[in-house]
Amino acid sequence: MKFSLKKFSIAPVIALACFPSSAHKTTPEWIDNAVFYDIYPSSFMDSDGNGIGDLPGIISRLDYVKSLGVDAIWMNPIYKSAWFDGGYDIIDYYQVDPRFGSNRDVKRLVDEAHKRGLKVCLDLVPGHTSNKADWFRKAATEGPDGRYADYYIFADEISAKDSADIRKRYLLEDPDSSKLGPWVPTEEAKAGTPSDGKYTGNFYQKNYYPCQPALNFGFANPDPSKPWQQPVDAPGPKAVRREMKNIMAYWFDLGVDGFRVDMASSLVKTDKDKKETMRLWADMREWLDREYPGKVLIAEWGVPEQSLPGGFDMDFLLIHRSPGFKQITRGSVKDKSVGKDAFFEKTGKGAYDKFVEEYGEQYRKSKDFGYISLFSANHDINRLNSEGRDSPDQIKTFMTFLLTMPGVPFIHYGDEIMMRNVKGLPSVEGSREERSGTRTPMQWDNSVNAGFSTAPAEKLYLPVFTDNGKLTVEAQEKDPNSVLNFTRKLIRLRHEHPALANSGEWKSISDPARPYPWIYTRENDREIYVIALNPGGKAANASMPLTGAEKPVTLIANGNVKVKSAADGISLKMPGISSAILRIEK
């Protein structure tokens, strides 16, 4: 029977975005339907009682991960690290940090995950090493002709402004700040020994924290007056590129399925339009498709229209690059362009127009190359249970959104049991207070330390907060209405109904001028799904005229959502903080 969703009767209606989707030709098939689960390894499961999570711990919890219905895991860095930035300051790319176990444990983890039908992606950090890495120590001390000198970016003299930034950072403000100017004085220069050609340079460029010297992938338009600016095909940058391929190959040979790539857009310097950086990744992709077909690359880039044509399979929509994502999720992040309250807050004063506009644009431009990844949170970004979202219904409404949007969704460990984003925790290994709250240990049960570790509480990586035992896997397993079980149902639905999954068409159909409820559709040639979200605290109604429709079926609802269908349309009555997915056969 012919069915067409026309428009809402609630106001003049704008069908904002309707873009068919198809994936990158080299994107492996399993991605087309995949949901990812991200694990911060220090905080998932501690097997040896030292208060810090490890690989055997993760292996022991794979059955749980599988029970969620997800398809793949992404783990933050597990390599030997100086631990000044949660493992993103790598000392040796080829060694697992002893705190997590050994390389053999990675092999075991991958094998055990594969047995369960789960893929495993690691974190590749190509943009920088630790300043304690062998490469850097040799680069800094063996002089300009040393083997590693051009692996990094050194200068003997820098501009007055850059020097002032260094002074501010080092003497006056925060010596460890990731902000202010790119240059950092070498240990030798700090000790008052000018390089005079003996050391490689007085300064090096950092990529994030000062202890993270940038690896040298070259400059987009080298300025001849700045001798450190080498072209991308100079011997140093070429060698670094080769090293990255060798590193990936090593882990692929162990069975790893792909990498999330840290700061993927940062590699080629002074590359404003990112053309050279895209070329670099296209080269990596070409190598990958030839040598390791079927492996995946996930970008931390935040501009899918660049990263996906550049060779990535997926790219995260990053909060700091996306006013639209901020508009719906992060009222606390000050951005005047999108108002104070987030759409997913119970105040009901948010909006989603910017998100639809911005997401729609990126989606249209990148859909033929790969997927945009939305996430519940991650090791840098506040958990879902924050920003005034502190009730199960609110979290369920957000999960309904996350798990019905196109692209490949990522669930941050613990968000499926509504773990809290705790404020006021100490900075641990460079987390700064703002990131500590999203890195607290996974809460398994009501035993000591919520089952995460047998260590004394003061030895834990970060404290646990179970809200009197409510926010644990054990408690929520038993409750059919828990966030955990609701999330499982959503994942199952996504897998059962391809139109709801990664490639189905997406169309926002409600009127953004009256944002509650927000309604969008997912569609393929057989079915249409209507997703209705009312995260605001007040009841909200909507109606959709339709022609010749079969009766809509409510697949899942959070709250008492009333759906009435008559010959001339469907109407929805939604209580405050509710959501629903309806299916309509074509």
CA 68 distance to own-chain centroid: 19
Q: Does 315 bind ligand NOJ (CB under 6 A)?
A: no
Residues, the chain: 586
Nearer to ligand NOJ, 124 or 408 (CB): 124
To the nearest whole angstrom, how small is the minimum distance from the Cβ of residue 274 to ligand NOJ?
17
Dihedral pair phi/psi, residue 554, rounded to 5°: -80, 115
Dihedral (C-alpha) 474, 106, 76, 37: value to the nearest 10 degrees? -40
d(CA 572, CA 263): 43
To the nearest whole angstrom, how small is the minimum distance from the Cβ of residue 297 to ligand NOJ?
16
Dihedral pair phi/psi, residue 384, rounded to 5°: -60, -40
Q: Which of 150, 380, 393, 416 binds ligand NOJ (CB under 6 A)?
A: 380
Nearer to ligand NOJ, 431 or 443 (CB): 431
Instruction: Give residues 516-555 in contact with ligand NOJ (rule: CB under 6 A).
Output: none
To the nearest whole angstrom, how small is the minimum distance from the Cβ of residue 176 to ligand NOJ?
12
Nearer to ligand NOJ, 87 or 409 (CB): 87
Instruction: Give residues 85-104 in contact with ligand NOJ (rule: CB under 6 A).
Output: 85-86, 88
d(CA 327, CA 369): 26
Nearer to ligand NOJ, 86 or 512 (CB): 86
Characterize 515-544 residue by residue with b for buried, 16 or more Cβ atoms within 10 angstroms of its Cβ, and e for exposed: bbbbbbbbbbeebbbbbbbbbbbeebebbb
For residue 3, count CB atoms less than 10 angstroms from its CB and return exposed for 0-12, middle for 13-18, buried for 19 or more: middle
Q: Which of 262, 345, 353, 416 binds ligand NOJ (CB under 6 A)?
A: 262
Nearer to ligand NOJ, 212 or 466 (CB): 212
To the nearest whole angstrom, how small is the minimum distance from the Cβ of residue 279 to ligand NOJ?
22
Instruction: Give residues 430-449 in contact with ligand NOJ (rule: CB under 6 A).
Output: none
Tokens of 56: 């055997």
Q: Which residue is nearest to ligand NOJ (CB)?
A: 88
To the nearest whole angstrom, how small is the minimum distance from the Cβ of residue 478 to ligand NOJ?
34
- The DSSP code sequence of 66-98 is HHHT--EEEE---EEE-SSSTT-SEEEEEEE-T
Distance between the two ends of the chain, CA-based, in angstroms? 6
Nearest to 558 by CA among 414, 401, 419, 356: 401
Nearer to ligand NOJ, 46 or 300 (CB): 300
Using DSSP, state whether 269 is helix, strand or coil: strand
d(CA 123, CA 110): 14
The site map against ligand NOJ for 213-252 (x = CB under 6 A) is ----------------------------------------
Let me know: does 214 contact 152? Beta carbons within 8 Å: yes
Q: Does 82 bind ligand NOJ (CB under 6 A)?
A: no
Residue corresponding to tokens 């068919």 = 20
Element (H, E) at 356: helix 353-366
Residue corresponding to tokens 């220090």 = 42
Amino acid, res. 447: S
To the nearest whole angstrom, how small is the minimum distance from the Cβ of residue 177 to ligand NOJ?
12
To the nearest whole angstrom, how small is the minimum distance from the Cβ of residue 52 to ligand NOJ?
17
To the nearest whole angstrom, how small is the minimum distance from the Cβ of residue 90 to ligand NOJ?
9
Q: Does 263 bind ligand NOJ (CB under 6 A)?
A: yes
Nearer to ligand NOJ, 248 or 319 (CB): 319
To the nearest whole angstrom, how small is the minimum distance from the Cβ of residue 289 to ligand NOJ?
26
d(CA 396, CA 403): 10
CA distances from 147 to 18, 124, 259 (A): 53, 23, 28
Nearer to ligand NOJ, 303 or 544 (CB): 303
Nearer to ligand NOJ, 125 or 555 (CB): 125
To the nearest whole angstrom, how small is the minimum distance from the Cβ of residue 40 to ligand NOJ?
10
Instruction: Give residues 382-421 in contact with ligand NOJ (rule: CB under 6 A).
Output: none
What residues form DSSP beta bridges with 540?
574
Q: How many residues bind ligand NOJ (CB under 6 A)?
A: 10
Nearer to ligand NOJ, 195 or 438 (CB): 438
* Segment lying near ligand NOJ (by CB under 6 A), choices 84-92, 95-103, 236-244, 367-375: 84-92
Instruction: Give residues 118-137 in contact with ligand NOJ (rule: CB under 6 A).
Output: 125
To the nearest whole angstrom, how small is the minimum distance from the Cβ of residue 380 to ligand NOJ?
5
To the nearest whole angstrom, how small is the minimum distance from the Cβ of residue 317 to ligand NOJ?
14
Nearest to 154 by CA among 188, 196, 184: 184
Element (H, E) at 105: helix 103-115
To the nearest whole angstrom, how small is the minimum distance from the Cβ of residue 266 to ligand NOJ?
9
CA angle 179–180–186, rounded 5-degree value: 100
* Segment lying near ligand NOJ (by CB under 6 A), choices 80-88, 110-118, 215-223, 539-547: 80-88
Nearer to ligand NOJ, 85 or 165 (CB): 85
- The DSSP code sequence of 527-569 is EEEEEEEE-SSS-EEEEEEEESPPPPEEEEEES--EEEEETTE
* Segment lying near ligand NOJ (by CB under 6 A), choices 83-91, 401-409, 494-502, 573-581: 83-91
Q: Which of 208, 316, 343, 518 binds ligand NOJ (CB under 6 A)?
A: 208
To the nearest whole angstrom, how small is the minimum distance from the Cβ of residue 260 to ligand NOJ?
9
Residues found near ligand NOJ in the complex (CB under 6 A): 85-86, 88, 125, 208, 262-263, 300, 379-380
